[in-house]
Amino acid sequence: MTTTTQAAARLPIENPGQAYQRRKTTRGNFELYGWVFMRASGVVLLVLIFAHLFVNLVAGEGISAIDFGFVAGKWASPFWQVWDLVMLWLAMLHGTNGVRTIINDYAERDGLRMWLKIALYTAFVVVVTLGTLVIFTFDPCPPGAAADLLPSFCTT
């Protein structure tokens, strides 16, 4: 009995490097492009986001101007449609890639890694799809909606 317990306990020492064996090589430019993208998109996002914040919260009447109408007004112009679309895509790609690397760095088990990434990529697809859809199809006065939910200018 004692011998078997000891033998079992000694197993990891018999082949100590086992758990740390390097797996197959994973060469390629993906991580290189990812690294460059993070830096480039970070710089572009600085401009996009702070201009977005300024236009929405400070310029003109400031924060009190924000409502359905304000958003509809902005998205009537292709300029702001493209601006918000680029901002949405870059922010989502940048953020998703960042969380992906965090998962790679901190999730130790392959199974956990896989499930966290599935959740992450699902969230990415849902947010990007819905966001893109909203930017191009936003209608502040949907027909058939209850009048008390709509902004005032819809009825006039």
> What angle, rounded to 10 degrees, do the helices at 78-106 and 68-75 form?
100
- Can residue 105 be called a binding residue for another protein (CB under 8 A)? yes
- Can residue 10 be called a binding residue for another protein (CB under 8 A)? yes
Shortest reach from residue 130's CB to another protein, in Å: 31
- Can residue 61 be called a binding residue for another protein (CB under 8 A)? no
- Can residue 98 be called a binding residue for another protein (CB under 8 A)? no
Q: What is the DSSP string of 100-133?
A: HHHHHHH--SHHHHHHHHHHHHHHHHHHHHHHHH
- Can residue 115 be called a binding residue for another protein (CB under 8 A)? no
Window of 15-23, 51-59, 85-93, 141-149 that interacts with another protein by CB under 8 A: 15-23
- Can residue 47 be called a binding residue for another protein (CB under 8 A)? no
Residues in contact with another protein, counted by CB under 8 A, come to a total of: 29
- Can residue 3 be called a binding residue for another protein (CB under 8 A)? no
Q: How far apart are the C-alpha atoms of 44 and 123, rounded to whole Å? A: 23
Shortest reach from residue 74's CB to another protein, in Å: 36
With beta carbons less than 8 A apart as the criterion, state whether 92 and 49 touch.
no
Shortest reach from residue 100's CB to another protein, in Å: 11
Q: How far apart are the C-alpha atoms of 100 and 120, rounded to whole Å? A: 8
- Can residue 34 be called a binding residue for another protein (CB under 8 A)? yes
Q: CA nearest 151: which of 142, 8, 93, 81?
A: 142
Q: Which is nearer to another protein, 28 or 144 (CB)?
A: 28
With beta carbons less than 8 A apart as the criterion, state whether 41 and 47 touch.
no
